[in-house]
């Protein structure tokens, strides 16, 4: 085998952060990947369901028109 083509790769470890960084990085990742595991280490950390839902809403808004599935995680 000489070549492997990944049509819909997943990024299994993404640090989008928040604010301007989120709005810059999320669309770029969404152009390349079909989805990704979103690391929740913000300040304050994403450590409960309310913060998780809020962060997912922000991530989806930053992705805009791209087809991308954010796999959200909690920080413990």
Q: Mean pLDDT throughout 20-40?
A: 96
Q: Could you report the per-residue pLDDT of 33-68, keeping only the tens digit for each?
A: 999 999 998 999 999 999 999 999 999 999 988 899
Tokens at residue 66, please? 């791209």
pLDDT of residue 65: 82
Cα 64 off chain centre by = 12
Tokens at residue 74, please? 């909690």
In the chain, where the domains are located? 10-72
The yes-or-no verdict on residue 27 having pLDDT over 90 is yes
Instruction: Tell me the whole-structure pTM to 2 decimals.
Output: 0.88
Confidence of residue 72 (pLDDT cuts 50, 70, 90): very high
Q: Mean pLDDT throughout 2-23?
A: 94
């Amino acid at each position: 085998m000489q070549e492997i083509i990944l049509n819909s790769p997943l990024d299994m470890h993404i640090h989008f952060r928040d604010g301007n960084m989120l709005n810059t990085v999320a669309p770029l990742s969404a152009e390349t990947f079909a989805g990704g595991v979103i690391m929740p280490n913000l300040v304050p950390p994403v450590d409960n369901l309310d913060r998780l839902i809020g962060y997912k809403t922000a991530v989806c808004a930053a992705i805009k028109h791209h087809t991308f599935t954010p796999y959200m995680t909690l920080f413990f």
